[in-house]
Structure 1
Amino acid sequence: MYIFIVNKKNTSIDDGSNILSLEIENGEAIARFRGSLLTLFGEPNYKTSDAENAFQYSITAIDKIGNSCVFSIYQGPSGLGIEGKEDDDSVLQAVQFFVKHVTEVVPADFDEKLVYGDTGSTIEYGCKNGVCYYIESSPITSIKNDKHRLPDLTTPQWNEINEIDFTGVKDPNDSWFWKEDLLHSSTIHFPSIRDLMRKDLSLIVGKPIGLDEVKRIGHEEGFNTEFDAGKPEMALNALAEVWAWKTTAGKTSQKRRLDCSSFAWTISRAVYGFYGGNLNKNHALANALYEEHEDRISSQEDTLRFFYALLNLFKFKRLKG
Structure 2
Amino acid sequence: MATYHLNLESDVLKVRFGKPANGDQVIKDAVVRLEKMVALGELSGGKSLKIYGPASVAVSYLIADKISHFYGTLAIFDPKIGRPGYKTFIIEVSQTPAYKIGELIETDEPHENKPILKVVLCGHLQSGKLCLREGLKQAISTIEGPPYPDVITAFPDGEGPWFSDSARRDSNLARRLKDEYKAKFTAEFAQKAAGWVRCASTPLNIIDISRKITEENRVMVGEATHAVILAGDRGKDDVLLWEDFWRDLNTPIIANLDSDYHGKDDKIVTKSPLLTGTVHYLARGEDVSSRPMVQVLARVLVGLV
Higher strand residue share: 2
TM-score range, shorter chain: under 0.3
Higher helix residue share: 1
TM-score of the two chains, using structure 1 as the length reference: 0.26
